[in-house]
Structure 1
Amino acid sequence: MDYGKNFLLSVIIFLSLTLNAWAIRIKDIAQFEGVRRNKLIGYGLVIGLNGTGDDGKNAKFTVQSLANMLEKMGVTVNPKDIEKVENVAAVMVTADLPPFARVGSRIDALVSSIGDAESLEGGILLLTPLRAADGKVYAVAQGPISIGGFFAGGMGAAVQKNFPTVGRVVSGALVEREMEGNFNDRNLLSLALRNYDFTTAKRVAQVINIALGGNFAEPMDGGTVGIEVPTEYQKKVVDLVSLIEGLEVAPDIPARVVINERTGTVVMGENVRISTVAIAHGNLSIEIKEKPKVSQPLPFSAGETVVTPDTEIVVKEERSPLFLVKSGINIGEVVRALNALGVTPRDLIAILQALKAAGALQAKLEII
Structure 2
Amino acid sequence: MTMRFSTPLIALCAALLLAPAAQAERLKDLASIGGVRQNQLSGYGIVVGLDGTGDQTTQTPFTVQSIVAMLQQKGVNLPAGTSLQLKNVAAVMVTASLPAFAQPGQTIDITVSSIGNAKSLRGGTLVMTPLQGADNQVYAMAQGNVLVGGVGASAGGSQVQVNHLSVGKISGGATVERAVPNSLGAGNQIKLELNTTDFLTASRVVEAVNNHFGPGIATALDGRVIRVMTPSSSDQRVAFLGILEGLDVSPAVSAAKVIMNARTGSVVMNQAVTLEQCAISHGNLSVTISSEPQVSQPNALSKGKTVVSQSAQVEVKKDLGKVVLVKGGANLAEVVKAMNAIGASPQDLLAILQALKAAGSLHAELEII
The alignment's TM-score, normalised by the length of structure 2, stands at 0.82
Q: Is the 8 A contact 2:139 2:179 kept in 1?
A: yes
Structure 1 residue 16: Cα displacement: 11
Structure 1 residue 108: Cα displacement: 1.1
Q: Equivalents in 2 of 1:293, 1:66: separation in Å?
A: 65
Structure 1 residue 310: Cα displacement: 9.0
The equivalent residue for 1:244 is 244
Q: Is the 8 A contact 1:257 1:269 kept in 2?
A: yes
Q: Equivalents in 1 of 2:119, 2:295: separation in Å?
A: 58
Please give the residue correspondences for 1:55-204 in structure 2 after superposition, counting only pairs within 5 Å: 55-78=56-79, 80-153=81-154, 156-181=157-182, 183-185=184-186, 187-204=188-205
The equivalent residue for 1:262 is 263
Q: Name the SS of the counterpart of 1:236 in structure 2.
A: helix
Q: Equivalents in 1 of 2:107, 2:139: separation in Å?
A: 11
Q: Is the 8 A contact 1:258 1:367 kept in 2?
A: yes
Q: Is the 8 A contact 1:49 1:88 kept in 2?
A: yes
Q: What CA deviation, in whole Å up to 9, does each residue of 1:172-215 have, x standing for no partner? A: 10111111125355522222222222332232222222222213
Q: What CA deviation, in whole Å up to 9, does each residue of 1:72-110 have, x standing for no partner? A: 122111474251122222211111111111211111111
Q: Equivalents in 2 of 1:42, 1:308: separation in Å?
A: 63
Q: What CA deviation, in whole Å up to 9, does each residue of 1:256-284 have, x standing for no partner? A: 01122333322111111212212222222
Gaps of 5+ in 1: 1-14, 297-306
Q: Equivalents in 1 of 2:345, 2:230: separation in Å?
A: 56
The equivalent residue for 1:277 is 278
Q: Equivalents in 1 of 2:198, 2:213: separation in Å?
A: 23
Give the residue type in structure 1 aligned to 2:357: K
The equivalent residue for 2:6 is none
Q: Name the SS of the counterpart of 1:322 in structure 2.
A: strand
Q: Equivalents in 2 of 1:308, 1:84: separation in Å?
A: 57
The equivalent residue for 1:225 is 225
Give the residue type in structure 1 aligned to 2:227: I
Gaps of 5+ in 2: 1-15, 298-307
Please give the residue correspondences for 1:329-340 in structure 2 after superposition, counting only pairs within 5 Å: 329-340=330-341
Cα gap change, 1:234/1:102 in structure 2, threshold over 3 Å: closer, same or farther?
closer
Cα gap change, 1:148/1:206 in structure 2, threshold over 3 Å: closer, same or farther?
same
Q: Name the SS of the counterpart of 1:42 in structure 2.
A: strand
Structure 1 residue 294: Cα displacement: 11
Q: Equivalents in 2 of 1:176, 1:139: separation in Å?
A: 5
The equivalent residue for 1:317 is 318
Structure 1 residue 157: Cα displacement: 4.0
Give the residue type in structure 2 aligned to 1:242: G
The equivalent residue for 2:36 is 35
Q: Is the 8 A contact 1:290 1:309 kept in 2?
A: yes
Cα gap change, 1:232/1:99 in structure 2, threshold over 3 Å: closer, same or farther?
closer
Q: Name the SS of the counterpart of 1:170 in structure 2.
A: strand
Give the residue type in structure 1 aligned to 2:162: K
Cα gap change, 1:98/1:151 in structure 2, threshold over 3 Å: closer, same or farther?
same
The equivalent residue for 1:206 is 207
Q: CA RMSD in A?
A: 3.5
Quote the sequence identity (%).
46
The equivalent residue for 1:49 is 50
Q: What CA deviation, in whole Å up to 9, does each residue of 1:9-43 have, x standing for no partner? A: xxxxxx99988651122211221121111111111
Q: Which piece of structure 1 moves more, 76-85 or 106-115? A: 76-85
The equivalent residue for 2:358 is 357
Q: Equivalents in 1 of 2:62, 2:187: separation in Å?
A: 47
Q: Is the 8 A contact 2:101 2:182 kept in 1?
A: no
Q: What CA deviation, in whole Å up to 9, does each residue of 1:209-237 have, x standing for no partner? A: 22222133233333x22223145777622
Structure 1 residue 149: Cα displacement: 1.8
